[in-house]
Amino acid sequence: MILRVLRKLLQPSRLDEYREIIELALQSGYRITSLADWYNHNFYEGEKVLVLRHDVDLLPFTAWKMFLLEKELGVKSTFYFRWLTEDAAIINKIKAEGFEVSLHFETLATYCKQNRIFRKEDVTDAVMGNCLNILKEEITRFESRYGKIQTLCSHGDKRNRVLGLQNHKIMEHVSRKGLGIAFETYDPDIKSRFENYISDSSINEKHQWKYGTTPKEAIAKGSQSICLLTHPHHWYYNPLLNVKRLIVEYLDNR
Q: Domain residues of the chain, as ranges?
A: 2-252
User: What's the pTM value of the predicted model, to 2 decimals?
Assistant: 0.94
Going from the C-alpha of 11 to that of each of 3, 8, 67, 156, the distances in angstroms are: 12, 5, 21, 23
| Helix (H), strand (E) at residue 229 | strand 225-230
Please state, in angstroms and as integers, the Cα–Cα distance from residue 41 to each residue in 33, 45, 46, 177, 197, following that order: 11, 8, 11, 19, 19
- pLDDT tens string for the chain (254 positions)? 556 655 666 667 899 999 999 999 999 999 999 999 999 999 999 999 999 999 999 999 999 999 999 999 999 999 999 999 999 999 999 999 999 999 999 999 999 999 999 999 999 999 999 999 999 999 999 999 999 999 999 999 999 999 999 999 999 888 887 899 999 999 999 999 999 999 998 766 667 899 989 999 999 999 999 999 999 998 987 766 777 777 877 678 77
Residue 196: name the closest of 76, 48, 22, 67 by CA. Answer: 48
CATH for 2-252 (3.20.20, 2.30.29, 1.10.10, 3.30.1340):
3.20.20
